[in-house]
Amino acid sequence: QVQLVESGGGLVQAGGSLRLSCAASGGTFSRYAMGWFRQAPGKERDFVAAISRSGGSTNYADSVKGRFTISRDNAKNMVYLQMNGLKPEDTAVYYCAARLSTYSYTVSREYDYWGQGTQVTVSS
């Protein structure tokens, strides 16, 4: 059983940056592929970025490519989402997710464990 806790959300102006962190505990972190998803009010939970358990492979939603970077530190049991060039449409609750697998996935139902989410609000 893996527990995930996100942090780093907040209010930022358009064009600004935030770095989200997700701390994992309760499992062997290096065995898990990790993902970031987001959910805006009244909308479905959407894929943002994912990383394989080694960190050697990443995937991004088209809407964030070139602006967001996912990374992980297996020694610290942490996964990060660096968000640059933020836009108002990036406003959402951001969730960290884990799946016991080698490769990352872009579909939320493939993930077994979820954090509680952290709010990101981008003002225009």
H or E segment at 72? Answer: strand 68-73
Q: How far is CA 19 from the centre of its chain?
A: 10
Which pLDDT score, from 0 to 100, does residue 103 have?
85
110's CB contacts (< 8 A; 6+ apart) are 99
- pLDDT value at position 97? 98
pLDDT at 102: 84
Give pLDDT, residue 65: 98
Please report the pLDDT score of residue 1 as a whole number: 85
Burial of 111 from C-beta contacts in 10 A (0-12 / 13-18 / 19+):
buried
pLDDT at 27: 85
Residue with tokens 């836009």: 87
List, for the chain, all residue ranges whose pLDDT scores fall below the cut of 50: none
- Which tokens sit at 48? 């943002």
